[in-house]
Structures are given as C-alpha cells and as structure tokens.
Amino acid sequence: MDVRAAEKEEIDQLARIWLDAWTDAHAEIVPAALTRVRTYESFKQRLQALAADIRVVGPPGAPAGLCIVKGDELYQLFVSAEARGSGAADALMADAERRLARSGVQTAWLACAIGNGRAARFYEKCGWNRVGTMVSELDTETGKFALEVWRYEKRVGRP
Ligand SMILES: CC(C)(COP(=O)(O)OP(=O)(O)OC[C@H]1O[C@@H](n2cnc3c(N)ncnc32)[C@H](O)[C@@H]1OP(=O)(O)O)[C@@H](O)C(=O)NCCC(=O)NCCS
C-alpha cells in the first residue's frame, strides 16, 4: 500500500476522516469539553496549517487515512472506518517510523487516549511500548487542553 504526500484539494476529505475517526475512538472516553472543540472546522484548520507534513494512503482524490509526525512525536494517525484492518494503518506507521529515523530521532513517542483499546493494541502490534501516563497539552483552536494519556515509545533509530 503506497503512502504519499497529501494534496491540497484533499484537505476537506481528510478533515472528515479525522473528525469521524477521532469521534469513533474518543467521544466516549474523553471529557465532553474536549469533544465540543473537536469540530470539522477545527480539524480542517489544523490540517491547513500542517499541510506540508501530511502523509496519506489511498488514490489521489480518495484518501483513506492520514499520518503526521512532528519532531520526535508520532503526532496523528487516523484511518477511515472502511480502511481499518486493511493494512492502511501499518503502511502509514512504517512510513512515519522511516521519516522519524531519517530525521535523526532515536526514540519516538506518541500519546494515546486512556481507554482507546484498538489504538493501543495496534501500537503494541507495531512494537511500541506503553511506558506510563503523561499529561498531554493537546492543541485546540482555543489553546491547550490538558489530558492525561498513555505514553508510548519506540526506538526507531539505528543504534
Ligand atoms: C488506531 C488505528 C489507526 C489502527 O488501525 P487499524 O487498521 O484499526 O489497526 P488493526 O486492525 O491492524 O489493529 C487493531 C487491533 O486492535 C484490535 N481491536 C479492535 N477493537 C479493539 C478494542 N476495542 N480493544 C482492544 N483491541 C481491539 C483488533 O482486533 C486488532 O488486533 P488484532 O490484529 O490482533 O486482531 C485505527 O483503528 C483508527 O484510525 N482508529 C480511530 C482513530 C484513532 O484511534 N487513532 C489513534 C489515535 S491515538
């Protein structure tokens, strides 16, 4: 499954995928105050700001999932409901780990909402280790939102 850079024209579709996948995984396990600010518009604005760093799977014009790395963090990974279990997430993860390693990162980390069992299982299948919890300062349109999360780490660089 090929992973490629997102096209500008795909931002609307990607915002819909991000919103729907975020809602599937988080609406029942995070505070209502966070769900209220996770709107379609908010995801679209964040994608516009991150456009150069978005990697996707799926044919041009029909992306099925997205992944973004930021510094040493695997920052976002979301695939559409239809693409879950298809290997799309594995392809995005492999691409992200390669990019992290190429940028000189030795140990990468990611935050996963406490109780997001499917994502946790997926990360563990990919060789990530849950090292504990941390307070993540989540980006929102109205500033930072502090949320306790599971922290995962993986060595991605060559020794
Ligand atoms: C997280 C995500 C990217 C993983 O991709 P995926 O294609 O669903 O991953 P896979 O199907 O390969 O692996 C998921 C595993 O979790 C298991 N699983 C499914 N529901 C589960 C649950 N409620 N609790 C625990 N494990 C679960 C699956 O059986 C599978 O394990 P298996 O391969 O051993 O059977 C994708 O599910 C997704 O986009 N979810 C919504 C958004 C999200 O949570 N993003 C991550 C934010 S931290």
* Per-residue CA distances from 71 to 12, 68, 75, 97, 109 (Å): 25, 10, 9, 12, 10
Q: How many CB atoms lie within 10 A of CB 38?
A: 19
| CA distance linking residue 8 with residue 49, whole number of Å | 11
Q: What is the helix (H) or strand (E) element at residue 119, kind and residue range?
A: helix 117-125
Cβ(85) – ligand 1 distance below 6 Å: yes
Atom in ligand 1 nearest the alpha carbon of residue 110: 48
Which of 74, 76, 97, 118 most suits a substitution to test ligand 1, by most atoms within 8 Å of the C-beta? 118
Dihedral sign computed on CA atoms, order 32, 53, 119, 83: positive
Q: What is the pLDDT along the chain (159 residues), one digit of tens a residue?
A: 899 999 999 999 999 999 999 999 999 999 999 999 999 999 999 999 999 999 999 999 999 999 999 999 999 999 999 999 999 999 999 999 999 999 999 999 999 999 999 999 999 999 999 999 999 999 898 899 999 999 999 999 987
Ligand 1 pocket test, pick from 66, 67, 121 with the greatest ligand atom count within 8 Å of Cβ, gives 121
CA atoms of 56 and 42, how far apart (whole Å): 19
Q: Is the CB of 119 under 6 A from ligand 1?
A: yes
Report pLDDT for 158: 81
Helix (H, G, I), strand (E, B) or coil at 34: helix
What is the model's pLDDT at position 139?
87
Cα 93-37-128 angle, rounded to 5 deg: 20
**Residue nearest atom 1 of ligand 1, based on CA coordinates:** 119
